[in-house]
Every structure is written in C-alpha cells, then in structure tokens.
Amino acid sequence: MERSLAETHVATSVGLAHHFDDVEQQREAGTLGMWAFLVTEVMFFGGLFLAYILYRSKYPVEFAVASNSLNVTMGFINTLVLICSSLTMALGVYFSQVGNRSLLILFLILTMILGLTFLVIKGVEYHEKYVEHHIPVRFQTYQFKWEPRVSEAGGAREESSRAVDTGHVEMFFWLYFAMTGVHALHMIIGLGILTTLVLMARRGRFTPEYHSPVELSGLYWHFVDIVWIFLFPLLYLIGAHLH
C-alpha cells in the first residue's frame, strides 16, 4: 500500500495517472481512445456525406452548376494551407518525441497560424456567398437568390438554364454550408487544443517519455485535414467540366 503510494508519487513527475500501471499502458489507452473518438467523428460526418451522396445522385446537374460558382482558387489555396499545417503538426509531434521544446513550440504556433489562415480564407469565401445571396436561409430580411452567370460557356449556360432547378441549387449550398461549417467548427476546436498545447509546452510539461497529448492532438488535427481533403473535390471540383 505504502509502496504503491510512493510509486504513484514518483510516477506523477513523468505524467503517469494513478490508475495506470505504467507509462506504456497509459499511452496505449490514450491512443486507442483517440482512435475510437475519431471513429465517432467519421460517423458524425458520415450523416452529412450520406445526404450529399443522396442528393448529388438525384440532382447532378444542379450540383455541378452550383459547385461551379464556388471560388476554386481560394478552395485550392486552403487545401494547400491545410496540407502544410499537417506537415508542421507532424514536425511538432516529432520534436515533442525528441524533447526539443523550442522547436515544438515553434511548429505548434506555425500550425496555429496556418489553421487561422484557413479560417480567414474561409471567412472571406463565406462573405462572398453572403453578398451574392447564396446563403440558403429563408429569413424576412435575407433570402437565397440564384441567377445563372452570364460568363458561363455557351453549352453550359444552355444546359443550366434549361434544367436547373433553383431549389436543388439551394440544396447544394445548404450542404456546402453544413459540411464546411461543421468542418470549420472542428478547426476552431483544434486551435483551442493547440493553444493549450503551447501553454503546456512552455511550462515544460512534455518530455520524450510523456508527450501523448501532442501526439493525440496531432491525430485529431490530421483527421480534420483529411475531412477537408474530401470536402474540397466533392464541393468545389464537381462543376469543373462545365468550363
């Protein structure tokens, strides 16, 4: 009894919680827990992707036309930004493993800057949509509006003006805002986690023996990036053939 108390006391210094036998068990539990959590996240996004698959297969033309009105350049830049943030996050995890505190903090902050960049660009895009009345709500002061663009190529315009149902276009934008909105929410939560990690790192809480919070947050961050890797082509690129 006394021995185990003493052990606990020693163990605390390397971040071992009292109910685990050793650091290895604790690390294993944390990793499994994070993967299980990511499975729930997959199921959460799964509902949105199911709705997307259903309605895109029902209304392919409208989805292509609506997708075409998104700002592909900004979407592409954001994709690059997120891929880079995954790299900086991975480097952060690496430097937490080797115990280099200053580089760990540097790469965590770089990841945060890239994450913020993504959100700012996303905000600019949302603002564009707001100005164009592409936000799919039916308020008295604000209504969704859709006018086929004149700049479209002849064939596409002909096709779109013939068959496009404004309601189905609105459905695309509804899914666009729901999916990117939920994704952006995850990014914001990720930034909160990164802030905590930076504060913990500054206090020297991470050692080569104990760095699982960084590793697990890395898993989360990569997951959120991967979601975007799916969202970008599904939302931005399906209308590309209309050009």
Partner 1 sequence: MQSVAEVVPPRTHYLNATYGVKSWLLTTDHKRIALLYLTSVTFFFFLGGLFAVLIRLELLTPQGDLVQAETYNRLFTMHGVVMVFFFLIPAIPAVLGNFLVPLMIGARDLAFPKINLLSWYIYNVGALFTVIAILSGGVDTGWTFYTPYSSTYSNGNVILTGIGVFITGFSSILTGLNFIVTIHTMRAPGLTWFRLPLFIWSHYATSLIMILGTPVIAVTILLLALERIAHIGIFDPAVGGDPVLFQHLFWFYSHPAVYIMVLPAMGVISELIANMSRKNIFGYKFVAFASLAIAVFGFLVWGHHLFVSTQSVYAGMVFSVLSYAVAIPSAVKVFNWTATLYRGSISYDTPMLYAFGFIGFFIIGGMTGLFLAALGVDVHVTDTYFVVAHFHYIMVGGTIMGYLGGLHYWWPKITGRLYPEAWARFGALVVFVGFNLTFFPQFLLGYMGMPRRYYAYPPEFQVLNVMSSAGASILGVGYLIPMIYLMWSMRYGPHAPPNPWGAFGLEWRTSSPPPTQNFEQTPVVTWEAYEFRPREEMDLLGVRDVLDQTLRPRPVGGEGD
Answer for which of 139, 147, 150, 241 binds partner 1 (CB under 8 A) is 139
Residues between 159 and 188 that touch partner 1 (CB under 8 A)? 165, 167-168, 170-171, 174-175, 178, 182
- For residue 103, state whether it binds partner 1 (rule: CB under 8 A): no
- For residue 36, state whether it binds partner 1 (rule: CB under 8 A): yes
CA distance 197 to 32: 20
Block residue for tokens 């006391």 = 9
Q: Which is nearer to partner 1, 61 or 106 (CB)?
A: 61
Q: Which is nearer to partner 1, 41 or 159 (CB)?
A: 41
Choose one: 12-20, 153-161, 190-198, 212-220; the region binding partner 1 (CB under 8 A): 12-20
CA distance 53 to 184: 21
- For residue 118, state whether it binds partner 1 (rule: CB under 8 A): no
For the stretch 124-155, what's the b/e string if a residue is b when 16 or more beta carbons lie within 10 angstroms of its beta carbon?
ebbeebeeeebbbeeeeeeebebeeeeebeee
Q: Which residues contact 242 (CB under 8 A, 6 or more apart)?
A: 64, 65, 68, 152, 153, 156, 159, 160
Tokens of 78: 């954001």
Q: Which is nearer to partner 1, 137 or 199 (CB)?
A: 137
Answer for which of 137, 189, 229, 240 binds partner 1 (CB under 8 A) is 137
- For residue 158, state whether it binds partner 1 (rule: CB under 8 A): no
Region for 15 from its dihedrals, namely left if φ exceeds 0, alpha if ψ lies in -120 to 50, beta otherwise: left
CA distance 145 to 135: 8
Map residues 50-89 to x or -, x wherever contact with partner 1 holds by CB under 8 A: xx--xx--xx------------------------------
Output the smallest distance, CB 205 to partner 1, in A: 16
